[in-house]
Chains A and B, each alone.
Chain A
Amino acid sequence: MRLHAARLYRTVAAGTFRRYSTYRAATIAGVFTNTVFGFIMAYTYLALWNVRPHLGGYTASDALTYVFIGQSLFAVVAVFGGGATDDMIGRIRSGDISVDLYRPVDLQTWWLATDLGRAAFQFLARGIPPTVVGALAFHLSLPSDPLVWLAFLLSAFLGLLVSFSVRYLVALSGFWLIDTSGTQAAAGILGMFFSGQLLPLNIFPGALKQIAMLLPWAGMQQLPIDVLLRTTASLGGLGGVLALQVTWAAVLLALGRLVTATAVRKVVFQGG
């Protein structure tokens, strides 16, 4: 039973991986954009760190690392949307989602598998190049200890789970709203700011920083990069970061299940 289910969702993930690999032009354009954007942000950050060295506890080299790892995570974690959940939004709007309900599959696990397959492809295709190019052009503070990299990948994976959970909830809002562009925009802005995509969260003043660090979005970019830079002391070290991410992932995935059940019930009782 469980073995069968595992095989099914592995097939879904593998299929989605291959599907994304067919979008070659989009992938190349994405790599180009993230790399160029990395350079633009790198020079902006350099200007800032020249005036305020050790801002937020980062050296200039840390700040540049933050920029390029951030660009590498951009497509993989998909903070702004653009993940497989966008397809889900399309299927809800067109009503195709009702065909999905005819099948003996779990809606949330199905889309999670889809998103993981997508992220796996984008990790290889769009995750690695920006950091490699950034490391060639600048001196980045990349660790030499493979265990730190491993911890970073684990933290990034948890960030992906949290990001998926949030995007999945946004997609589910389509069952009630039909047009999700409002929720998508709101989620995008929140994500951009509170993930640390715009500026690292640790340069924010006092309470704002403290709160932002504890919100789910921090786990999508800020926390994994802090794990890589080994600047997690204020969060109780690596264990504290991972515990926070696991908690958010569990809470938001559970919430997603709850809302799924309500959405399906709504469709089942009231029609699409």
Chain B
Amino acid sequence: MAFIELEGVEKTFTVRRKRGRFTRTKDEVRAVEGLTFGVERGEMVGYIGPNGAGKSTTVKMLTGILTPSAGRLRVAGVDPQKERVRLAQRIGVVFGQRTTLWWDLPLRDSFTLVRRIYRIPQDRFEENLGRCVDQLELGPLLDTPVRQLSLGQRMRGDITAALLHDPEVLYLDEPTIGLDILSKATVRRFLAEVNARGTTVLLTTHDLQDIEQLCRRVMVIDHGRVVYDGGLEGLQGSDGAERTLVVDLAGPSPAIDVDGARVVRREGDGERQWLAFPAGRSAAPLVAAVAERYPLVDLSVREPDIEDVIARLYRGVPAQAT
């Protein structure tokens, strides 16, 4: 049995809408439907999808603060709805946009509070705090009131607060939102380390760099369903994704005509042309064919952009590099 297991999970919300001045109608909104997947212990999985796809709803059901309308759900063999408080001892949650830290008090005080909440033995607490402080560079900030921290510093504080009790599974929702490049790199390096130590991580994000650098497996969810589950490379090659060969010619030229590729764009009267070809195919024969018949000056190959791939996946259109 997988560590995190969902089987045919559905969640329907009833939304009241105003129709006339006094009349209201009840509409059913399906946030999640027929969600089925498993995550093994120690995996780090990217869980992505457009806004409103059902990502947060899934995380809320996994933590037990939302009850599914139908289906079966287990985390570490436990039904989160029935044993929310007991399961809370074993999970860590970071919502990038929300904070659990004590706003007006030094960062250190929030960590002491976490120690009390989760009844963490003193030695383990000190060891875990020491490691987090060290790797997330929080040392000089421990005595600073949380309200004076920058967004990146506060986020690192929240991540620390979520990990002090050695949770078996960590849910991250946009842990790098609004951070600068340096802070992002620090957070990512740290999360990779957390995962390497055996913590199962489910990472929800809109930042695909997070996924590229951290997750071997990616699940794309849209309209409450998993539309892709697999490796990142597979995502790039899926759904007829195409790579692009950009060629610079010595002078103006009509559209290049070679087998296995088609011109998708021309510039400067054909001096620069973009040729799309299937992502699974090697570029070498194509380059040779072009060089043989056209005055080739320069070239480059562009991989399908993951962001574009996903955007197309969301819309159900084959991906294409630009």
Contacts and interface: CB of A to CB of B under 8 A. Distances in A.
Given A268-B66, A269-B67, A271-B66, A100 B113 contact: no
Given A15-B105, A15-B113, A268 B89 contact: no
Given A18-B109, A22-B104, A103-B100, A7 B116 contact: yes
Interface residues of A, number: 26
A271 B57 contact: yes
Interface residues of B, number: 34
Interface stretch (B91-99, B130-138, B177-185, B196-204): B91-99
Given A12-B113, A268-B67, A271-B57, A103 B98 contact: no
Nearest to B14: A270
Given A11-B112, A269-B67, A104 B88 contact: yes
A28 interface: no
A40 B160 CA distance: 51
Contacts of B88: 102-104
A4 interface: yes
Given A15-B105, A19-B104, A271-B57, A99 B93 contact: yes
B65 A8 contact: no
Contacts of A132: none
A15 B102 contact: yes
Main secondary structure of the interface of B (DSSP, over half): mixed
Interface in B36-71: 57, 60, 63-67
B136 to A, nearest CB: 20
A271 B13 CA distance: 8
A8 B113 CA distance: 7
Contacts of A98: 60, 65, 98
B85 interface: yes
Contacts, number: 72
A215 interface: no
A99 B91 contact: no
A263 B79 CA distance: 21
Interface of B: 13-14, 31, 57, 60, 63-67, 81, 84-86, 88-89, 91, 93, 95, 98-100, 102-105, 109, 112-113, 116-119, 145
Minimum-distance CB pairs A-B, first 7: A8-B116, A104-B88, A19-B104, A11-B116, A102-B93, A104-B85, A99-B98
Given A103-B117, A268-B65, 15 more contacts: A4-B119, A19-B102, A19-B104, A22-B145, A98-B98, A99-B99, A102-B65, A102-B88, A104-B85, A105-B117, A267-B65, A268-B67, A268-B84, A269-B66, A271-B31
15 contacts: A11-B112, A11-B116, A15-B105, A19-B103, A94-B98, A98-B98, A101-B84, A102-B65, A104-B85, A104-B86, A104-B88, A104-B118, A268-B84, A271-B57, A271-B66
